[in-house]
Amino acid sequence: MPYHLPPLPWLRSFEASARRGSFAAAASELSLTSAAVSYQVRALEELLGRPLFERLPRGLRLTDLGKAYLPSIRKAFSELSVSTLGIFGPEGDISLDVRVSVSFGVLWLAPRLGAFLAAHPNFRIRLLSAIWGDALPADRIDVDIRFGHGAWPGYAARLLVNDPVILVTPPSSSVMGPRDIRPGELIHILGVEGDWLHLFTGTDQMPPFEQVGLTVDTSLAALELAAAGSGVALVLERFARPFIEQGRIRAVPGLQLPQEQSHYLLTRDGLNAPRAEAMLFCDWLQHALLAEREILGTGEAA
């Protein structure tokens, strides 16, 4: 079918000018003159019959119609870039900085990165834990994966995966529910206090927080402690799965709790779109999670 599209160079000049805030900055990026970029944007506006920018003494400001038009242009360019990279590969080596929580990075992402690198040998991944991620400026992080409620100032969050919580114990433990947990057995993970409250809901006792045996700041540490026989823990089922498969811990049968927090992909708010290479990695990440969910037959959101 015929496509009713303005000339591609005009759209590129519009998108770059909107992102960079001036014709001069867009011209530098596109290797054109400022006059050429200005002419192409003006030609686009005349073709559409509406102004896309307000020309200010210092820079540009999108009109309401320009703001409405920009996301679809950016989405089209992004999809074209990702498809081109995915099919033909990048020119030269590509470096991506990926910031992720320790547990998600070690227990899920790291074992699967080899598959991505095998499919995209030009990529170089620098995997940064959230502990050290602040060592880099926020605009240097290409892919940001965080665990929480989905609201971070300055960022747009896209739901990545939501997992249920399970109760895990050492293999030899006889714990079958909250009533069987002895004083001092509870391994507490900072930031998810509500999980223990949910577990004890409906029983005639409250979680023995005053008798917590150990407190840690990652699910990875809680799992290692449970595997060592140091107590019981509530952890995301996805994180516990490799430990269970290796026989290092056991999951209490028939006990799953919904987790209010989820893992999210974050992008910074504003006009700067993520790099196409980063979007390619994000697409791979989401497809890997979706394929795993279908294999396991789980009903989690992704």
| CB-based contact 74:47 (threshold 8 Å) | no
Domain co-membership, 138 together with 74: no
Q: What is the pLDDT of residue 242?
A: 93
Domain co-membership, 179 together with 249: yes
Tens-place pLDDT, residues 21-60:
899 988 988 889 999 999 999 999 999 999 999 999 888 9
Q: What is the pLDDT of residue 137?
A: 60
Neighbours of 69 (CB within 10 A): 20
**The length of the chain, given as a count of residues:** 302
Neighbours of 51 (CB within 10 A): 16
In this structure, what CATH number is given to the domain that contains residue 271?
3.40.190.10
Q: Is 246 exposed, middle or buried (0-12, 13-18, 19+ CB in 10 A)?
A: exposed
Tens-place pLDDT, residues 90-129:
666 788 889 998 999 999 999 999 999 988 888 889 888 8
Domain co-membership, 177 together with 234: yes
Q: What are phi and psi of 188, to 5 degrees?
A: -100, 130
Look at residue 2 and tell me if it is in a domain. Answer: no
b vs e for 200-219, b when ≥16 Cβ sit within 10 Å of the residue's Cβ?
A: beeeeeebbeeebbbebebb
Tens-place pLDDT, residues 283-299:
889 888 888 876 665 54
Look at residue 302 and tell me if it is in a domain. Answer: no
| pTM value surpassing 0.85 | no
Can you tell me whether residue 76 is helix, strand or coil? Answer: helix
Domain that holds residue 214: 165-257
Domain co-membership, 215 together with 243: yes
Q: In this model, does residue 165 exceed pLDDT 90?
A: yes
Q: Which residues 6+ apart lie within 8 Å of 208 measured at CB?
A: 181, 183, 186
Domain co-membership, 152 together with 267: yes
Percent over 70 (pLDDT), the chain? 85
Domain co-membership, 123 together with 141: yes
